[in-house]
Amino acid sequence: MIHIPKTEFASRIERIRESMKAEGLDVCFVYGDEYRRENLRYVSNYWPIFERGALLLPLTGEPILLAAPEGEEVCREMSAWQDIRLIPDFACVTVPDVIAYPQANYSSFRDVFKELKIRQAVRRIGIVGMDAMSHYVLETLRNSLPDCELLDANSMLFRARLTKSENEVACLKEAARIADAGYRALLKVAAVGRTELQLAAAAHEAAYAEGAENIVFCLVSSGARVGTIIGRATNKVIEDGDMVMAALAVQYEGYIATANFPFVVGTMAPAQRELINQLIEANERALACLKTGAPLAAPVRAVKGYFRELSVDRFDLYPPMHGCGVAEAESPYPDEQSEGTFAAMMTVNTDISLFGHPGGSNRIEEGFVITEDGYEPMSALVRDLCRQWKETGSISIE
């Protein structure tokens, strides 16, 4: 099975500790929940359900994983770390009621930090995910540590996640393989008379059958609804000549790959064909800029420059590339003014879109690993669909 071994989690912790020393932090507190899971999953492999969690990372000794009682067993099943404590403030995120868990062996922020202070100094605490946690949790944490300085430490994890290991790339490739299977199933059922929800159902079924641990999103909109940009599937019936905007993001072992290719069901209008041509050409121009040492801004400038040449830039709503990994969109997320360069083993998605175009609205999205002399595609399907379109002006799914 493709996965991230515990030894890799240990090496991540050591790299983060080096960053902590450089920034003068005594402890790092990495928060996560069902909705903002990426940083906590990266450092512990734990992904809360309904609840909240955090990894408490001191400068020495094994990290302490903080969880909630209902998810304790799944936490123990998933976690790369053995020291797990239950915190009442991390219980169910969706209700204001205090939930009684009579069998829970609770600790508290105050007790856990008191224990840490026996080991080492605890004065400056870096919080990763401060922007994601509730005001209540943050204030409870502050009140438990009146003699400590709490600092935003998001940048440490963003830097740590910028380049990937061989194991991470393998997980992303597997996620892409599964996303391809789901998207292929969606394309096969796309026909006049089907609903958007039926397309989404086909994608979900195929992706889970192939080993997806989660569908992060499955966006399906058709006809005039493509203008919603990120529309959820509805019971709208697909009609002849409808453009379809469908994006499928699949999670495997915490890593997320996305597939999106623009297509029309039935009779295609010239303006729709023009839109698809422009998106595919823009995508190819972005790919020509990908290699180790190339400017991060280069693919953005290439795409936006091309759209300006065609006078369609007013339909271009956001930068055409972002990183991918334990989040569907993560750093780098460059614009035309970005500094810095691509590095080997960065993983990125092209995410090139035009919305409100005379031919409709759509995007093309696929993932790549940056190599020394270029890139390696993660999605075989989107690459093949691009090739088919350029050669024949159409696509087919066997």
Tell me, letter by letter, the H, E, C secondary structure of the chain: CCCCCHHHHHHHHHHHHHHHHHCCCCEEEEEEECCCCHHHHHHHCCCCCCCEEEEEEECCCCCEEEECHHHHHHHHHHCCCCCEEECHHHCCCCCCCCCCCCCCCECCHHHHHHHHHHHCCCCEEEEECCCCCCHHHHHHHHHHCCCCEEEECHHHHHHHCCECCHHHHHHHHHHHHHHHHHHHHHHHHCCCCCEHHHHHHHHHHHHHHCCCCEEEEEEEEEHHHHHHCCCECCCCECCCCEEEEEEEEEEECCEEEEEECCEEECCCCHHHHHHHHHHHHHHHHHHCCCCCCCECHHHHHHHHHHHHHCCCHHHCCCCCEEECCCCCCECCCCCCCCCCECCCCEEEEEEEEEEEECCEEEEEEEEEEEECCEEEECCHHHHHHHHHHHHHCCCCCC
Q: What is the mean pLDDT of each run of 10 residues along the chain (398 residues)?
A: 96 98 98 95 95 96 96 96 96 82 94 93 96 93 95 97 98 98 98 98 98 98 94 97 98 98 98 98 98 98 98 97 98 97 98 97 98 95 98 92
Neighbours of 145 (CB within 10 A): 18
The pLDDT of residue 318: 93
């944490």: which residue's tokens?
141
Query: What is the model's pLDDT at position 50?
Result: 87
- The confidence score (pLDDT) of residue 98 equals 83
Q: Measured between alpha carbons, how far is 90 from 93 in angstroms, rounded to an integer?
A: 8
Domains and CATH numbers, the chain: 6-160 (3.40.350.10), 166-392 (3.90.230.10)
Looking at residue 373, what is its pLDDT? 93
Does the predicted model carry a pTM greater than 0.85? yes
Q: For residue 242, which of 265, 219, 270 has the smallest C-alpha distance?
A: 265
Q: Which of 247, 259, 245, 233 is nearest to 178 (CA)?
A: 259
Position 24 scores a pLDDT of 98
